[in-house]
Amino acid sequence: MSTSSVPLLLDGQWTHPKTQSFSPVHNPSTGEVIGQVPLCGPAEVDAAVQSAQRAYATWSKTPVYDRVAILFKYRHLLNENFEELSQIIVRENGKTIEEARGDMRRGLEVADYACSIGELAKGEYLPELASGIDAHTSREPIGVCAGITPFNFPAMVPMWMYPIAIACGNTFVLKPSEKVPLTANRLAELFLQAGLPDGVFNIVHGGRDVVNALCTHSGIASISFVGSTGVARHVYTEACQHGKRVQSAGGAKNVLLVLPDAKPDATLQAILSSAFGCAGQRCMAGSLLMGVGNGEELREQVVAAMDELVLGNTYDDPAAQMGPVIDGQARDRLFARIEDAKSDGLTLARDGRQNVPADGFFVGPTLVDQVDPERDIFRDELFGPVLSMLHPKTLDEALEWFNRLPFGNAATLFTQDGGAARKFAREVECGMIGINIGVPAPVALFPFSGWDESFFGDLHVQGREGMMFYTRQKTVLSRW
């Protein structure tokens, strides 16, 4: 098994930096070290920015059909290598193969969307704005764009960013999570194979030193960040102070609210997949379960279904339905939060610390019951397979509790009552809402629209907003 150093992509060349500092990449299912990622710094960031600046001079003037021709070839290669990429995701992230395919599919849809950039980004024209004066607008690229991404979606989150940015005529520097660098490298390799000119897409590996160097480098026009709220706020502040355009997505505490008239089987399936899919490591994962009216019965059904979930090595065992968390630190942190809940007098309706595989970084599905809005576990993002349950008496009480949360990512209501659904969608204070949808994640055509502590900035990733973020508008008035 290779434990070799993971290369950077600078100016179209795979290179190994001089740094002596590395961080191990694990297979979370086994705990085995499968690579060493270099922890780069300002020198490598500067080399990447210079490469991207050189490429920008030509790429920003490349005709749209020529840019899109490369993107079409790229999406063809991504489809051809879909299974191999999904396997890389399983190996370095630990999610199941089906979840890894979903990760790839959602990313691919953004590459598909980017192929329509000519239609999407063309401007407006109005003749005779005044006598003899015509006006038109155009959307121009902004320069060198940077993306900083988390570990939980090794393909999808980077692809929220670079296909659109590059389609718009920008060049790009990606800093993938140091925990999952291998998927990003393979995605880039295929882009080069599709004919992308050297320097249009660059990768610098590392952690906070790379992030801070990107946020302060004068050659970078924009930062797209996705990760936890503390870092998202830091990146937003730092990069804004350095004059950059910033979109910075943070953490979440998403609610699954069940009314007594919800369809039982479909609701149960949606709760399980939302709370425990990807081992609870989705920013859209349901982490607060609220049962209005029939909470006790719902809890028993959920716990019985949790007992049936097969926890295991997703890399070798096709029977595994739920994989590990990303690393030993995440497992230990989650174990400590479960212990804290117990010490606080909360009920562990299911304790996921028991009967977990010995190798790898496993936490079993956990349900903490009798949580109330005053508890830390209500407010803090845990980011793992730990679901907290609350028992509001009414929809109004549930809404009032939800709207106290600092985050504004997602909330779902399960019901067959259209009036309740409408009220929920109107009054819940967050950016992504599901009605009978466990994971209401917008796909490529729509913005990923978190609010409050879940997003810092204005224009979100994906959809038309993604294109707007990566372009600036020019208005021309002419009289001949």
Contact string (CB under 6 A) for ligand NAD, positions 427-466, x = contact: ---------------------x-x---x------------
Q: How many residues does the chain have?
A: 480
Cα–Cα distance measured from residue 455 to residue 340, given in angstroms and rounded to the nearest whole number: 28
Locus of tokens 């009216």:
293
70 or 211, CB closer to ligand NAD?
A: 211
Under the criterion CB under 6 A, does residue 149 sit at the interface with ligand NAD?
yes
Under the criterion CB under 6 A, does residue 407 sit at the interface with ligand NAD?
no
**Is the Cβ–Cβ distance between 106 and 444 less than 8 Å?**
yes
121 or 146, CB closer to ligand NAD?
A: 146
Under the criterion CB under 6 A, does residue 29 sit at the interface with ligand NAD?
no
171 or 454, CB closer to ligand NAD?
A: 454
Which residue in the shown chain puts its C-beta closest to ligand NAD? 227
- Listed ranges 12-20, 71-79, 147-155, 317-325: which one lies at the site for ligand NAD (CB under 6 A): 147-155
- Listed ranges 24-32, 90-98, 172-180, 272-280: which one lies at the site for ligand NAD (CB under 6 A): 172-180
36 or 415, CB closer to ligand NAD?
A: 36
149 or 388, CB closer to ligand NAD?
A: 149
CB of 120 to ligand NAD, least distance (A): 21
Q: Among residue numbers 283 through 302, which ones bind ligand NAD (CB under 6 A)?
A: 283
CB of 353 to ligand NAD, least distance (A): 21
Catalytic residue, candidates 115, 145, 283, 430: 283
Under the criterion CB under 6 A, does residue 152 sit at the interface with ligand NAD?
yes
Residues contacting ligand NAD: total by CB under 6 A: 28
Under the criterion CB under 6 A, does residue 181 sit at the interface with ligand NAD?
no
- Give me the half-sphere count of Cα atoms (radius 13 Å) on the Cβ side of residue 387: 30
Give the residue ranges of DSSP H helices in 406-457.
418-427
Contact residue for ligand NAD among 381, 399, 439, 470 (CB under 6 A): 381
168 catalytically annotated:
no
**Is the Cβ–Cβ distance between 84 and 132 less than 8 Å?**
no
CB of 169 to ligand NAD, least distance (A): 25
Contact residue for ligand NAD among 59, 383, 424, 469 (CB under 6 A): 383
CB of 62 to ligand NAD, least distance (A): 29
150 or 434, CB closer to ligand NAD?
A: 150
Under the criterion CB under 6 A, does residue 208 sit at the interface with ligand NAD?
yes
Under the criterion CB under 6 A, does residue 150 sit at the interface with ligand NAD?
yes
CB of 347 to ligand NAD, least distance (A): 26
Element (H, E) at 169: none
Under the criterion CB under 6 A, does residue 177 sit at the interface with ligand NAD?
yes
151 or 172, CB closer to ligand NAD?
A: 151
Contact residue for ligand NAD among 223, 252, 259, 428 (CB under 6 A): 252
CB of 158 to ligand NAD, least distance (A): 10
- Which residues are near ligand NAD by CB under 6 A? 148-153, 157, 175, 177-178, 207-208, 211, 226-228, 231, 234, 249-252, 283, 381, 383, 448, 450, 454
Which residues are catalytically annotated?
A: 283
